[in-house]
Structure 1
């Protein structure tokens, strides 16, 4: 029987909250220095997008794999894996000498972030099983809390400080949650306490989910290591076939729908957040502010809203809240693509409100509807979100910018009889979407002041184009949530599914 007391639940919540703060430090500090990496190592916008992406998609490898093991190795062991990854990844990034060393360091940090979330989602869903969506929203307030704290610490260092000092700040919250781990007690997971078998847990997600996860992971790893299409196909088929043989279940249809929606959702929130410091730099700098203030501001909104999410969840239901936030986020993103001057802050406020409840409310919905799925359904959902934004979303935003820059330079040449495109848009790169040309940062930096001013204006316009394009994603999500609301209305309304606590037989 689970004998964990309420005071232990409170200290457990604090430990999980602190661990999530560490994951968001990795995220926000990378967003602050990605342009510094571009200048120092001559990276294209797409390469920067790939580095932002590798800060996200490896999360999915660790969160999915550890979800399969967590009930056997224990929550404590998984969180210590996270500590090791955070320390190793930070050290590797600080010693980076180019694109690939930055890639490896960021990859290991992302594995640590996945290990954190693999543990904290089922932990809090177990400890507060009677109000999961509320407490998962409160837990995930640790994410914007870390964005705000990490962002303020980075801003306090000023714009002229070497990027390594900013990345080094990751060590601070890692030490904090390591200390909290030393004496923490952990409960038995809800799935284990209810006697739900391991096979039943995997069957809730099903082999369709396994196909989606395997395809996304293998395609990206295959791109990095230059695997053949045949090898990639064989690995995807083998993984899916084994899962299908073991579970004999395609998975719950409602869960698979949520899994698909999670990819545009994650791009709307995390993909935009990865880029927002860079995307809004021209407008915010013109106001006399550092561009990082926009991310700090929207994160502060998210922190407050998530801490007080309970009444909204109870008033609208998880799906109703997700639909409302999708509409608000679409308006905010489109506003950011059009706004100038002080209007940027208004649009950022709307976007910040809209994105606040996406991630934890989606996990809470899955935890309430598929409790038999335990750690697997919650964490596969989060994993697919990270895979989608890391492999496609962040890179897509970078690719939109690269293409917009090329088109704008060509248009400027045609209008002014110049040769900017032929001179500066010459850097050959290879990415997820194949081979492409990008702006050569080294050549631009070596040009005269007038040329740099023209190119900077073109780059600023391309960033606006990226924000306008991503505003379509929450509209797609809105349509999906409205259809799901109609489905539940026909079923008699939204109700959480409860498991009876009954320990499995010996």
Structure 2
């Protein structure tokens, strides 16, 4: 049966555009949520983490479901659940208003739960998309998987560009045009969801490897390969570095740029363009060499971003370098899974994606936020102890090996968002005066000391963000060591080769590579790089 490859490719591309829009707008919602709900950095990080947790779980189990039930049914399920996630955003404010009346002590925690589960459901849909579209595109373009998977995953930065520009124009007090209710901005991804749904409904899809194979257990054979297990660990680190940093980039750059979401838009634009050129690069240096070089560049880029840069121009130069490093990592890893383990279909790709997303949701998002919060509090306590006492929470918390007193989210938001004059004093303290979630007695004390406190808080916030980026640079450094080991390994067995399944005979046994135990000269239909 002939399939509309171009239409299926576009629909798959749009699923990632929708995911990118939702991701970018959510990362810009920290300020409004701090003001309206008193949601602090730790809770914000947890919500961002929920946006990856469901993704990680579903992309793996979704891969198994795809092999069992096919591509189209899971895309339709994700279509419905994505719209439900958008509806949950609109009920958050009415519910919070009711809780402030009936249960004020738990109002913030309750609305946090609503936002958490909305993000979790959103991530479930993302996982279903990835479980479907990666093996689908690899199957539609069997002779150039890595190239077309990179093009497919240009949809993610494309969505972040659209979502980031929308956030810059309409989310937060520094919005370019006007500040819209955050719900409308965060739910804007639903427009793209409806578009891809209309496109997919009438289309026919190819059978998956599991549907066309008489031996369903064959799709799990990738887990018998030690190099594949190494790839899983490395992809977890890619998720930590790429999506963990993207989750926090907007907030970490708040005091460096007039509208910090611009840095996310800029790096996304670079990724979008670069991913269209992965094919020629791969054919020159092979996928593992590309992954090794990208890891080194990403490490250096993060170290540069974490340094005390003062110039806005230099921030974008450093971000350019970082983007060159991260652009090819995620889709090229999926290409490696598709080329080395074609008999495993969506399961191999799903396992890598699950590792990356679970690492982001359960480790990277919360850990980077904790590192930023700890470094900020520690710096403020050392440089301005009196200011620290006015802004810090009374009780210390312990997270990820750090014990510290975090800064009060509402107080931090009021000080951090203030515009400072050349003398370092705030141009206006109106945001602090209007803050509803700060006790009136505390507000009077903070207003009396705003001239000295605001600059100290902003300096410490900036220090915390830079320190978090520097610490994250250790992750791509570790990745580089892992890819170097894989490069040496593949050269020891005759070079990296893409394996192809012979589909000429339906009853033919699907060849299963055993890496080091298999003679590379006896592998079926290899394509060398």
Give the TM-score normalised by structure 2.
0.81
**Partner SS for 2:199:** helix
Displacement after TM superposition at 1:199 (Å)? 1.0
**Corresponding residue to 2:304 among 326, 331, 335:** 335
Counterpart-to-counterpart distance in 1, 2:507 and 2:28 = 48
Query: Which whole-Å deviations, capped at 9, do the CAs of 1:91-135 have from their partners, x for residues lacking one?
Result: 112322321111011111110111111110110111111111111
Counterpart-to-counterpart distance in 2, 1:202 and 1:186 = 22
| 2:195 paired with 1:176 | yes
Counterpart-to-counterpart distance in 2, 1:429 and 1:105 = 26
**Corresponding residue to 1:102 among 87, 98, 115:** 115
Aligned to 2:406: 438
**Partner SS for 2:256:** helix
Go from structure 1 to structure 2 and tell me whether the alpha carbon gap of 1:469 and 1:409 turns closer, same or farther (over 3 Å shift). Answer: same
| Equivalent pair of 1:409/1:421 in contact (CA under 8 Å) | no
Displacement after TM superposition at 1:483 (Å)? 1.1
Aligned to 2:147: 134
Counterpart-to-counterpart distance in 2, 1:370 and 1:87 = 34
Counterpart-to-counterpart distance in 2, 1:129 and 1:348 = 34
**Partner SS for 1:129:** coil
| Equivalent pair of 1:12/1:185 in contact (CA under 8 Å) | no
Displacement after TM superposition at 1:443 (Å)? 4.1
Aligned to 2:124: 111
**Corresponding residue to 1:326 among 287, 295, 304:** 295
| 2:467 paired with 1:471 | no
Aligned to 2:498: 496
Structure with the greater alpha carbon radius of gyration: 2
| 2:122 paired with 1:154 | no
| Equivalent pair of 1:59/1:112 in contact (CA under 8 Å) | yes
Give the total of aligned pairs.
448
| 2:88 paired with 1:92 | yes
Counterpart-to-counterpart distance in 1, 2:411 and 2:244 = 28
**Corresponding residue to 1:59 among 47, 55, 59:** 55
Aligned to 1:248: none
| Equivalent pair of 1:58/1:111 in contact (CA under 8 Å) | yes
Counterpart-to-counterpart distance in 2, 1:81 and 1:357 = 29
Aligned to 1:209: none
Aligned positions of 1:326-405 closer than 5 A: 326-338=295-307, 339-341=309-311, 342-405=313-376
| Equivalent pair of 2:25/2:166 in contact (CA under 8 Å) | no
Aligned to 2:208: 189
Go from structure 1 to structure 2 and tell me whether the alpha carbon gap of 1:118 and 1:95 turns closer, same or farther (over 3 Å shift). Answer: same
**Partner SS for 1:438:** coil
Displacement after TM superposition at 1:204 (Å)? 2.1
| 2:239 paired with 1:266 | yes
| Equivalent pair of 2:62/2:350 in contact (CA under 8 Å) | no
Counterpart-to-counterpart distance in 1, 2:475 and 2:148 = 27
| Equivalent pair of 2:70/2:208 in contact (CA under 8 Å) | no
Aligned to 1:461: 463
Go from structure 1 to structure 2 and tell me whether the alpha carbon gap of 1:187 and 1:293 turns closer, same or farther (over 3 Å shift). Answer: same
Displacement after TM superposition at 1:74 (Å)? 1.8
Aligned to 1:70: 66
Displacement after TM superposition at 1:420 (Å)? 2.0
**Partner SS for 2:454:** helix
Go from structure 1 to structure 2 and tell me whether the alpha carbon gap of 1:436 and 1:103 turns closer, same or farther (over 3 Å shift). Answer: farther
Displacement after TM superposition at 1:423 (Å)? 5.0
Go from structure 1 to structure 2 and tell me whether the alpha carbon gap of 1:181 and 1:479 turns closer, same or farther (over 3 Å shift). Answer: same
Deviates more, 1:307-316 or 1:439-448: 439-448
Structure 2: runs of 5 or more not aligned: 97-110, 415-442, 509-529
Counterpart-to-counterpart distance in 1, 2:399 and 2:84 = 26
Counterpart-to-counterpart distance in 2, 1:64 and 1:440 = 38
| Equivalent pair of 1:267/1:393 in contact (CA under 8 Å) | yes
Go from structure 1 to structure 2 and tell me whether the alpha carbon gap of 1:435 and 1:87 turns closer, same or farther (over 3 Å shift). Answer: farther
Q: RMSD over aligned Cα, in angstroms?
A: 1.9
**Partner SS for 1:284:** coil
**Corresponding residue to 2:282 among 284, 308, 313:** 313
Aligned to 2:99: none
Aligned to 2:264: 295
| Equivalent pair of 1:263/1:385 in contact (CA under 8 Å) | yes
| 2:201 paired with 1:201 | no
Give the TM-score normalised by structure 1.
0.85
Counterpart-to-counterpart distance in 1, 2:136 and 2:238 = 23
| Equivalent pair of 2:68/2:210 in contact (CA under 8 Å) | no
**Partner SS for 2:405:** strand
Counterpart-to-counterpart distance in 1, 2:395 and 2:131 = 39
Go from structure 1 to structure 2 and tell me whether the alpha carbon gap of 1:431 and 1:313 turns closer, same or farther (over 3 Å shift). Answer: same
Bigger relative contact order (CA 8 A; separation at least 6) = 1
Structure 1: runs of 5 or more not aligned: 206-250
